[in-house]
Amino acid sequence: MSGVCWPASAAPPVDYGRDIRPILAARCFTCHGPDASSREADLRLDDPHDAFRDRGDGIVAIAAGDPHASEMIFRMRSDDPELRMPSEGQPVPEAEIALIERWIEEGATYNEAWSWRPIEAPAPPTVEDEAWVRDPLDRFVLASLEEAGLEPAPPADPRTLLRRTSYAIVGLPPSPGALDRFERDPSPQAFANEVDRLLASPAFGERWGRHWLDLVRYAETYGHEFDYAIPHAWRYRDAVIRAFNADVPYDRFVIEHLAGDLVDEPRIDPVSGLDESRTLTGFWWLSQGTHAPVDVALDEAERIDNQIDVLGKAFMGLTTACARCHDHKFDAISQADYYGLSAHLKQSRRAVVEMDPGGVIEAARMKALSDRRVVEDSIIARAVLTAAADGDPAPNREGDDPDTFEDFVEPMPIGYRATGQAFARGSDERPRLERRDGGVAMSPPTVATSRAAGEPFAGTLRSPSQAIDRRYLHQRVRGRGSLRVIVDGYHLDERNALLFEGFIRNIDSPDEFAVVTHDLGRYLGRRMHVEWKDPGPGFIEVDWMLASDDPTPPQQDAPESTVAALTGAAVDALGETSIDVPAPVSVLAIEPGTSWTEHVRLRGDPHARGDAVSPGHIESLDGAVAPPGDRLALAQRLVSPEHPLTSRVMANRIWHHLFGRGLVPTVDDFGALGSPPANPPLLDHLADRLRQDWSVKNLVRDIVLSSTFAMSIEGDPRAASIDPLNTLPHRANLRRLDAESIRDSMVMLAGRFDPHLGGPSVPIHLTEFMTGRGRPGASGPIDGHGRRSVYLEVRRNFPDPFLQAFDLPVPTTTVGRRTGSNVPSQGLAMLNSPLVHELSAAWGERIAQMPGSTNARIARMFEEAYGRTPSRSEIDRCTAFIESASQAGGSDSAAWGELAHVLLNGKEFLFLR
Amino acid sequence: MTTGSSTPGRGHCGRFRPLGVSRREMLSSCLSGFGAVAASALIGDRAFGGSDSVGDVRSGIPHHPARARNVIFLYMDGGPSQMDTFDPKPRLSAEHGEPFAMQVERTQFNNNGNTFGGPWAFAPGGSCGTPVSDLFPHVRQLADELLVVRSMTSRFSEHTNANYFLHTGAGLAGRPSMGAWTSYGLGSASQDLPAFMVVNGGLIPPGGMECFGSGFLPASTQGSILLPHGDGIANVGSRETDAGAQRRKRGLLASLDEEFAEAVGRDDAVESAIRNWELAYGMQTSVPELMDLSGETPETLALYGVDSTYVPTATYARQCLLARRLVERGVRFIELTCPGTGNDRWDQHNGLIKGHEQNARAVDQPIAALLTDLRRRGLLDETLVVWAGEFGRTPFAQGSDGRDHNPFGFSIWMAGGGVRGGTIYGATDEYGYKAVDRPVEIHDLHATMLHLLGVDHKRLVHRFGGRDMRLTDVHGHVIRDWIA
């Protein structure tokens, strides 16, 4: 880590993480690794303390510095089948033994991968050319260039720099006005002003929010066969955009993703009043979804695999999901770590929560409760019904195993949770009086009820999880709403009930209780919970719930409402209360569930149980401290300043987006198989800066204002041999615009740009080539109503063909670095797609209507699309083109539309210098 | 291999600046035209894999002499019944209507009825005598070309997972399709068409376009959809109303692009993009030419059934004929999806007789014509034709007259491209339920297909997400017995 880069000739020392661990993982760890259940001879070779331990008679597996005294080497070379290791299978190849020998000779240092090491705060190095330094980060870059014997590229001209900056920060071209302004005054202060203006624009959040959406495989449908919609996904997208615009500290942003439902003080959006913290947890549920899984346990294992994959890659740059079937072969991630993470998810729930923007619904509930209390008290005061309300609740079940029974003596028994405002939280919210049969009736005293405050409130009640050990689930309910049984977190039966027939039941029995029976025979042994949903108008009351082997529900006399023949104004007031309750806002989020024992699954097979594991973390990263009890604790570990990955990975992502190439090019893999950073001190410097205030905007700003960012693409010719990939970097990278920037720029040039932020997505425009199941019934507008691309619907099975041609990623898992493909379909799209033709024509029409000479109009177009003024020769050629196009018989604006089409096809539009 | 017409006399490869030797070797070894573009996409990805293994691997291709140059994959969407097509089971017919004698695994719908004897008679075909049912009378005549594999298995009994598995070797979306791997490994022999094309008869399989996706491979390797009618390819039709407009635009664009390319030091990405636009212009001509069947003889059109009165047959006939034309144009991997017959693919959970008869009617004559036509043009020996669904069907009934999904044993066949025609490999049990003799995995099919193309499936890798990924993951064996 000390040098900036290795001298080309010297062989680097053997590195445990890079060189040795993979060998040991392949040859030794099965019996001498982290998995205690398969360990032989009580020896761990992955743990130096154990590997160096005296095993009696002075025998040690590894004697640091002395391969000859290392039993391991002796055993690997032994010809004696009794002694030779590994005891089964092929002997270890001599080349590998020699490498291990060298490593032992060099001290057998168990240094983990570079990215596991603590982040240092390296002092910015001294450089020869002090004048080049604008930001401390420049010192790290320049020092490495000076060491490599390279000159940094000269600064880009002001127009090029501003165009580059504008796309980098907001994903849109700079206006001709801004270009003029900056060209006249290209001072550092003027540049800083431009950068601040861009950072303050809401377009920043749209640009950087879209980068983030790539990491969380953002989509609005589940894909698979029918491409069902993911409910309310766009609210997550909007919360991400708002978070980037508000510059929510990244540590907070991470915590909210993992555990926004558990934070003490949720972050409330000042405009919408929505709970942003909880909305961000929606990322957990954006995976693909399979309907009718024959093996629901396997289906859950795949869902969790994807969640852990995204968790690992997006936040830590680790391929954690590799450890599903075996200990990670290259990185220090054990299978137990994986299932420790899995445990967090098995004890959480996917929930469409009913949000209460600004707390207005809760206020209405409190008022309704108190109003009702006044009325009810006046009736009860007449002492008619008090007797019925007194005393112990009547037993209302036949004897059965109490473990499988819930009789709702409390409206919210331990382990039950409600979202929304409908369900009663405390016993004082019961009983409830209602008008009935010409009198007054009292609700059964021991029910879970969603109308304590009245029927207009919406909400969902969730039971604790339990193993399905009886075939039948009976429950006695009434109301107008729905209930469902959820097995192993599987929810797509709400769209396709195959294999889960009847698991979701609508209840329409407002007066009489009825027993609903679920046959769970197919899912014996699986995990389940029950959800009762009150959609708003309507209610649900549950008297009891019983698991049984008997398909017939118990016969019994459940307590019916006591009816008293009362009348009067107070009784009338019990009737239809017309409370004005705003509808809640539905948001897809995570909810705490029931503590659940997870097991390691042998070979990743959900049916092959290994050791039990607690909700955990990655032990090698977080050390031997106690595993976090919940997701919030897990998230807090992740953003602790000591965590070696979180700030490094994010700082590297920011660098990647600004330069087109991360310091670690494998932005989602900081493990041993990823690429090490070209300039480790620079990455640590940036990571250290990020973790000071966790401000993404500050780091973007500092980097953009550096001399490094301002370099032109014209590189030092010597770099062709010294640094052909420009890793240091010594110049800017020429890059193609990303899909969204191309489309958004065209929409802007066409004058169609709608700057409106957020909201439901614009339906995708369908072509005849987009066929298959789940095809939307209606096609969206060609120009997407001028909305930015981030607001176009993301349907997994029907991706926007234009954006797809330009590498919009397939939303399956984290994609921190998009493919930069270069294919003829891009040419076809630009030449012949209705989108580009429509927008070219609109741009031409706008130009045709502008006052001024032909020259001035041509110049305007070059400025708008390319960020520069045209050369004399270009003006001449374009003028000739316009004349020729006009002579061909088209209108004036059609001729300008033709020129617009050419300029948009120009590679100068598509590429960024 | 020839070079593109727009850069006469030299391949694209020579213009790359020195960027690393192994990759350059790979490029200059064989690629030009479309393949060069795919490769240039790779150049953009250089070193992002954390090692240079990719270039080294690709530069070694072919790993051994290839037996096939192209693949035509006849995808039988929904899972045809093995007992009713290529795997006769007399005992099944004998016990028709009786309780099924074997232990029944859980099926998708778990609504399992009694033993269901096959409704169709079998007869031996060709001189080899391989039995083929009356569902495929035309294909039966070509039995000497067929290697029938009766012991195929899958790991999934649900369409989408099984489709991903068949196409990509993994049960979830996100992995590259076998066509993408082929295109990645071999590049294209075509100047102006993509290396992997899907001729879509109408039924995009459950799982959608991801079945033909490039996954983590460069986007240039993904399957391009060709419709068997109309323009064929998206945006391939010029929208210029004025005949001179395109010429005018192209001229100005070329001059602007040339100056820009010069201004940015003839950067590879810009040069490749310019070349891609040239290819796009070329496709405006080549694709209509591909789609224009007027040069085919009436005999050929009739052989395929292009004018069949049964519309699905006419559609599939055009698909098969286009497949031959694509092979002639050097397209490496051609997949045909099924035309709709109104029977929900081959997925006859009920109404087996009507559904299978109509599905077979749609494809039988065109497939036989394709094999015949390839043979007589000398193309069959270098073209591997694969006929397969994602799984088979149960030998016991679902409900009264259907069959459920069965991944435990089913039939596929291959022809041409170095496979041993006129033979049968493997067997299911007496009921056709499970593979019992030499069971084969999808991974083995993939490994053998790549092998026939001259590619070692263990060496065609791409590093992604910290792993060297393969079509066959960590599985797959080349089945030597399949190879002539």
What is the tens place of the pLDDT at every residue in B76-119? 999 999 999 999 999 999 999 999 999 888 777 777 889 999 99
Q: What range defines the domain where residue B322 resides?
A: 70-231+286-482
Query: Is B243 part of any domain?
Result: no
Cβ within 8 Å of residue A871, ≥6 positions away: none
> Token pair 């490769």 is at which residue?
B39
- Residues of chain B with Cβ-Cβ distance to A826 below 8 Å are 273, 276, 280
Which parts of chain A have pLDDT scores under 70? 1-12, 35-37, 112, 329, 380-404, 431, 555-563, 565, 575-577, 623-625, 673
Considering only CB atoms, B50 lies closest to which of A673, A720, A822, namely A673
Any B CB within 8 A of A872 CB: no
Residue B58: predicted pLDDT: 59
Q: What does DSSP assign to residue A771?
A: -
Contact residues, A window 313-342, toward B, CB-based 8 Å cutoff? 313, 319, 322, 330-331
Residue B393: predicted pLDDT: 97
Distance from CA of B475 to the nearest CA of A (A): 15
Residue A710: predicted pLDDT: 98
- Residues of chain A with Cβ-Cβ distance to B171 below 8 Å are 302
What is the tens place of the pLDDT at every residue in A628-657? 789 999 999 999 999 999 999 999 999 999
Query: Is B178 part of any domain?
Result: yes
Is residue A774 left, alpha or beta, with left meaning phi > 0 and alpha meaning psi from -120 to 50?
A: left
Any A CB within 8 A of B315 CB: no
Distance from CA of A223 to the nearest CA of B (A): 7
| Contact criterion met (CB < 8 Å) for A290 and B41 | no
β-pair partners for B125: B130
Any B CB within 8 A of A19 CB: no
Q: Which residue of B has its CA nearest to A771?
A: B204
What is the tens place of the pLDDT at every residue in A283-313? 999 999 989 988 899 999 999 999 999 999 9
- Transcribe A519-544 into DSSP letters: E-GGGTTSEEEEEEEEESSS-EEEEE
The structure tokens listed for B416 are 């041409």
Q: What confidence category does residue B45 fall into, taking pLDDT thresholds of 50, 70 and 90? A: very low
Considering only CB atoms, B106 lies closest to which of A294, A767, A829, namely A294
Q: Which helix (H) or strand (E) holds A351?
A: strand A348-355
Cβ within 8 Å of residue B258, ≥6 positions away: none
Q: CA-CA distance, A842 to A834, in Å (whole number)?
A: 12
- Residues of chain B with Cβ-Cβ distance to A801 below 8 Å are 234
Single-letter amino acid code for the residue at A799: P
Residue A446: predicted pLDDT: 82
Q: Which residue of B has its CA nearest to A313?
A: B465
Single-letter amino acid code for the residue at B434: K
Of B282, B299, B298, the residue nearest B290 (C-alpha): B282
Residue A559: predicted pLDDT: 55
Considering only CB atoms, A906 lies closest to which of B160, B236, B256, namely B256
- Transcribe A705-729 into DSSP letters: TSHHHHB-S---TTHHHH-TT--S-
Considering only CB atoms, B283 lies closest to which of A669, A824, A908, namely A824
| Contact criterion met (CB < 8 Å) for B466 and A801 | no
Residue A12: predicted pLDDT: 66
**ipTM confidence:** 0.87
| Strands A405-406 and A540-548, bridge-based pairing | antiparallel
Considering only CB atoms, B234 lies closest to which of A767, A817, A822, namely A767
Cβ within 8 Å of residue A547, ≥6 positions away: A400, A401, A404, A405, A466, A468, A469, A470, A472, A473, A474
Any A CB within 8 A of B35 CB: no
Any A CB within 8 A of B364 CB: no
CB A697 within 8 A of CB A139: no
Query: Is B12 part of any domain?
Result: no
Distance from CA of B187 to the nearest CA of A (A): 13
What is the tens place of the pLDDT at every residue in B365-398? 999 999 999 999 999 999 999 999 999 999 999 8
Considering only CB atoms, A821 lies closest to which of B219, B248, B278, namely B219
Distance from CA of A305 to the nearest CA of B (A): 11
Contact residues, A window 539-578, toward B, CB-based 8 Å cutoff? none
**pLDDT, average across residues B140-162:** 94
Of B398, B415, B418, the residue nearest B406 (C-alpha): B398
- As for how many domains chain B has, the answer is 1
Any A CB within 8 A of B261 CB: yes
Question: What is the signed CA dihedral for B41, B44, B47, B48, rounded to 10 degrees?
Answer: -90
Contact residues, B window 159-198, toward A, CB-based 8 Å cutoff? 159-161, 171-174, 194
Residue A317 CB coordination number (10 Å): 28
Q: CA-CA distance, A720 to B310, in Å (whole number)?
A: 63
At A476, is the secondary structure helix, strand, or coil? strand
Residue A252: predicted pLDDT: 98
Distance from CA of B37 to the nearest CA of A (A): 7
| Strands A735-736 and A458-462, bridge-based pairing | unpaired
Considering only CB atoms, B248 lies closest to which of A671, A833, A884, namely A884
Q: CA-CA distance, B453 to B382, in Å (whole number)?
A: 9
| Contact criterion met (CB < 8 Å) for A911 and B264 | yes
Q: Which residue of B has its CA nearest to A676?
A: B50
The structure tokens listed for A839 are 């927008």
| Contact criterion met (CB < 8 Å) for B245 and A668 | no
At B75, is the secondary structure helix, strand, or coil? strand
| Contact criterion met (CB < 8 Å) for A720 and B18 | yes
pLDDT greater at residue A200 or residue B52: A200
| Contact criterion met (CB < 8 Å) for B158 and A292 | yes
Q: CA-CA distance, B371 to B145, in Å (whole number)?
A: 8
Q: Is pLDDT of B20 > 50?
A: no
**pLDDT, average across residues B421-435:** 97
Any A CB within 8 A of B110 CB: yes
CB A897 within 8 A of CB A879: no
Q: Is pLDDT of B10 > 50?
A: no
Q: Where are the alpha helices (DSSP H) in A644-738?
A: 646-659, 680-693, 696-704, 707-710, 719-722
- Transcribe A276-345 into DSSP letters: HHHHHGGGGG-S---SS-SSHHHHHHHHHHHHHHHIIIIII---GGGGGTSS-SSSS--HHHHHHHHHHH
| Contact criterion met (CB < 8 Å) for B108 and A813 | no
Single-letter amino acid code for the residue at A433: L
Sheet holding A439-442, edge to edge: A433-436, A439-442, A562-564
Any B CB within 8 A of A657 CB: no
Residue B43: predicted pLDDT: 34
Considering only CB atoms, B466 lies closest to which of A224, A673, A810, namely A673
Distance from CA of B286 to the nearest CA of A (A): 13
What is the tens place of the pLDDT at every residue in B162-175? 999 999 999 887 89
Contact residues, B window 410-429, toward A, CB-based 8 Å cutoff? none
Of A787, A813, A817, the residue nearest A800 (C-alpha): A787
Exposed, middle or buried, A402 (CB in 10 Å: 0-12/13-18/19+)? exposed
Of A782, A803, A884, A902, the residue nearest A847 (C-alpha): A902
Q: CA-CA distance, B362 to B158, in Å (whole number)?
A: 24
Residue B113: predicted pLDDT: 86
Residue A11: predicted pLDDT: 56
Q: What confidence category does residue B222 fall into, taking pLDDT thresholds of 50, 70 and 90? A: confident
Distance from CA of B324 to the nearest CA of A (A): 22
CATH no. for residue B391? Answer: 3.40.720.10
Q: What percent of chain B has pLDDT over 90?
A: 65
Phi, psi angle pair for A513, to nearest 5°:
-70, 145
Question: What is the signed CA dihedral for B127, B128, B133, B139, rounded to 10 degrees?
Answer: -70
The structure tokens listed for B419 are 């496979």
